[in-house]
Structure 1
Amino acid sequence: MLDNPVFLSFVFYSVLLILKMYIIAIITGQVRLHKKAFANPEDAMRHGGTQYYREDPDVERCKRSHHNDMENIFPFLFLGAIYSMTEPGLFFARMHFLVFFLGRVVHSVAYLCALKAPTRSVAYVIAQVPCFSMLLQILYAVGVQW
């Protein structure tokens, strides 16, 4: 697989997406600390008392962004890996991976910064287009072989 340039491109963008997810997790933790809004009583006790065992809208926004990443990036990882095996053209494959990556980055920024609608929704849809395209191409490739 390492001699397949499409797969290498997929790996590159996948690693960037996982890094982005780690960054969102770190941001969530930092917002928790800054807002003193902890999910566990033992954490609240360590940082001032049980009154900080609470929810906060900014922390919840970060968590929703991270959750949305999991709902979308995990399927991309599966689709992209299988798509890479269907021998697509390198340019088009890279465009699929790049568009998804950029769409997810814009989506996260829009979510975390509460950007004006419909920025987040448009970014979501843009990122779904290459996933849907890969899905159809995989089904076609499997259907032809099956």
Structure 2
Amino acid sequence: MSEKLLVPIDRELLEFYAFYIGILVLKCLFMIVHVGLSRVYYRVPRNPEDGAPFKAKVYTNELVERNRRAHQNDLENIPFFIVISFLYLLTNPSLEPTQWIIRTYVISRIVYTFVYTVLKSIWRIPVYEVGLFINWYLTGSVIYHFSGAGK
């Protein structure tokens, strides 16, 4: 018979995690609407049938594509953070450093989108790397902890 595990996660940390993950999900949902409204505003349908009622042709608009790429970048990065940060909570981490890690990641994703879509600046790269480093750190910590090496 397999052993049943009760994994205690600090309630304050779990609530903090849930709040900030909610912000990330809200950000992704906002980007869905933002990209859709950009397509409507610039009359850039994704498919020919979408533009047919308005006699709009499918073409590429750099502003719409920039918004779409920012959203795609979220979809390529945020799910990994959601999973790995939850697994990190199972390692029984310290409260304050973990809060700073989660908060910093969420802020980096919001700033990345702003820098990429509004400022159109090369500074998006170091901002992106902040989030990437956090994901690498969390992943390494989880692997180390659950490999038994951390015990």
After TM superposition, the score normalised by the length of structure 2 is 0.86
Give the structure with the larger helix fraction.
Answer: 1
Which residue is equivalent to 1:124? Answer: 128
For residue 8 of structure 1, the aligned residue among 15, 27, 30 is 15
For residue 58 of structure 2, the aligned residue among 34, 45, 53 is 53
* 1:36 has 2:38 as partner: no
Which residue is equivalent to 2:79? Answer: 74
Count of aligned residue pairs for this structure pair: 143
- Identify unmatched segments of 5+ residues in structure 2: 1-7
After TM superposition, the score normalised by the length of structure 1 is 0.89
- Identify unmatched segments of 5+ residues in structure 1: none
Deviation at residue 2 of structure 1 after TM alignment: 7.6
CA offsets per residue over residues 36-67 of structure 1, 9 Å max, x none? Answer: 00012222022x21x43222111111111011
Distance in 2 between residues matched to 1:83 and 1:6, nearest whole Å: 11
For residue 111 of structure 2, the aligned residue among 106, 110, 122 is 106
For the residue of structure 1 that corresponds to 2:92, the secondary structure is: coil
Deviation at residue 132 of structure 1 after TM alignment: 1.7
Distance in 2 between residues matched to 1:136 and 1:109, nearest whole Å: 29
Of 62-71 and 2-11, more deviation after overlay is shown by: 2-11
RMSD: 1.8
Query: After the TM superposition, which parts of structure 1 deviate over 4 Å for at least 4 consecutive aligned residues?
Result: none
Deviation at residue 116 of structure 1 after TM alignment: 2.2
